[in-house]
Structure 1
Amino acid sequence: MSGGAEDDFGAFVAARATTLLRLAHLACGDRAEAEDLLQTALERTYRNWNKVRHDSPEPYVRRVIVNTAISRARRRAILRMIPVRVLPDTPARSDDVDLREVLMDALRALPPRQRAVVVLRFWEDLSEQQTAQVLGCAIGTVKSQCSRALAKLRAALGEESVEGVIGHGRA
C-alpha cells in the first residue's frame, strides 16, 4: 500500500474507531471480543483498502463486524450452549440504574442475526434498506428479524422499557 493510502486508512481509523468499537460491542455483547472483532474488521479492510477507500469504507467495516460476530456466535453455539443470565421477573424502568446491564443481557440472548438487525437499525440508525445491504439479505428479512427481536426484547424487558430505550414507532 502506498504512503497516501496508508495515511487515508490511518485517518479513517482515527475518525471512526470509537463508533465502530461501539457497534462491535453491541453486536457481540463483550468488550474484549468487541475489540477483537474491530481488529479483525480493520485488518480485512486494510487488506482491501485500495478497493474500499474510494467508496464509503464504513459500511464495508460494519458488514465485516456484523458478519464476523454472527459467524463467531454460530461457531460457539455449535460447540456449546451459551449460558444466559436469568432476567428479572419485573420489567426494568428507564430510570433503573441496571437498565443497561439488563438490556445487554437481553441483547445477548437474541440470536446473532436478530441482534445484528436491532443494533444496526436502532443504535447505528440505519434504514431497513441500509441494514439489508450490510447483512446481505432482503428488506423483508430485516423487517421479520426486527419484529421477532423486538417481540423477544418486549417479553424480556417489558413494553415500556423497550420503547423507552429503542424509541417509538420504528418496529
Structure 2
Amino acid sequence: MLQDEEFAEFAEAAAERLRTTAYMMCRDWHLAQDLTQTALTRLYLGWRHARQADNLTAYAQKILLRAYLDHRRRRSTSETVVEVIHDTAGYQHQPDLRLTMLDALGRLNPRDRAIVILRYFEDYSVEQVADVLDVPVGVVKSQTRRSLARLREELAADQLALFA
C-alpha cells in the first residue's frame, strides 16, 4: 500500500474521534475542525516516522493536544466563542448532563481540561498523559486530583443553582 493511501485510510478512520476530542478541549466545533486538520497535516508531514509508532491513534492524539495548547498560547485565542452545542450519539440519553459537564470542563484551565479529557474520556493511563504533556507523573496525579475536586465544586454549584 502506498504511503499516501495508508495515511488517507488512517485519517478517515481517526478524524471523527480526533474532532470530538478537540471539541471537548476547546468547546467550539469550528476550532475543533481546524485543530483536527492541523493535527492531521502535521501527522502527514511526519508520516514516514509516525507510521512506525506502536499506537498511531495515541500519536495523533498527542499531536492534536499540542496543536490545541499551541493555539491557546497565542494572543488571538482570547476571543469569546458563542456557544452552539451539537448533540453527539454518546450523550443523547442525558443531554442536560452533557451540557453541564461541558460547561464545568470549560471552566478548567486548558492543561487541566486536557488532563481530565485524556484520563477519563480518552482512557489514557497516568503515564500516557504525562508522556503526552511532557510532565512528570506526579504532576498528572496532583492536577487530576485538583481538577476533579474543582469539577465536583462546579457541578455542585450548578445543581444548587437549579434549585435556587
Q: Which band: TM-score by shorter chain?
A: 0.7 to 0.9
Q: Give the TM-score, by structure 1 length.
A: 0.77
Match of 1:116 in 2: 114
Deviation at 1:80, TM superposition (A): 4.1
| Residues 45-80 of structure 1: CA deviation (Å, up to 9, x unaligned) | 00000011011322221112112212222324x874
Structure 1 pair 75/99, CA: closer, same or farther in 2 (3 Å)? Answer: same
Aligned counterpart in structure 1 of residue 45 of structure 2, from 44, 47, 51? 47
Match of 2:19 in 1: 21
Asked if the contact 1:84–1:105 (Cα under 8 Å) also holds between the matched residues in 2, the reply is no
Q: Quick one: percent identity of the two aligned structures?
A: 38
Deviation at 1:152, TM superposition (A): 1.0
Match of 1:64 in 2: 63
Structure 2: unaligned runs, 5 residues or longer? 84-92, 160-164
Match of 2:123 in 1: 125
Distance 1:79 1:65 in 2: 16
Q: Give the TM-score, by structure 2 length.
A: 0.80
Asked if the contact 1:84–1:109 (Cα under 8 Å) also holds between the matched residues in 2, the reply is no
Secondary structure in structure 2 of the residue aligned to 1:158: helix
How well do the aligned residues superpose, as a CA RMSD in angstroms? 2.5
Distance 2:50 2:36 in 1: 16
Equivalent pairs counted in the alignment come to 148
Distance 1:127 1:103 in 2: 21
Structure 1 pair 106/8, CA: closer, same or farther in 2 (3 Å)? Answer: same
Asked if the contact 2:116–2:147 (Cα under 8 Å) also holds between the matched residues in 1, the reply is yes
Deviation at 1:158, TM superposition (A): 2.4
The one-letter code sitting in structure 2 at the alignment partner of 1:114 is: D
Distance 1:134 1:46 in 2: 19
- Which contiguous aligned blocks of 4+ residues in structure 1 show a shift greater than 3 angstroms? 78-85
Asked if the contact 1:110–1:149 (Cα under 8 Å) also holds between the matched residues in 2, the reply is yes
Asked if the contact 1:29–1:107 (Cα under 8 Å) also holds between the matched residues in 2, the reply is no
Distance 2:5 2:79 in 1: 43
The one-letter code sitting in structure 2 at the alignment partner of 1:24 is: A
1:3-22 superposed matches below 5 A? 4-22=2-20
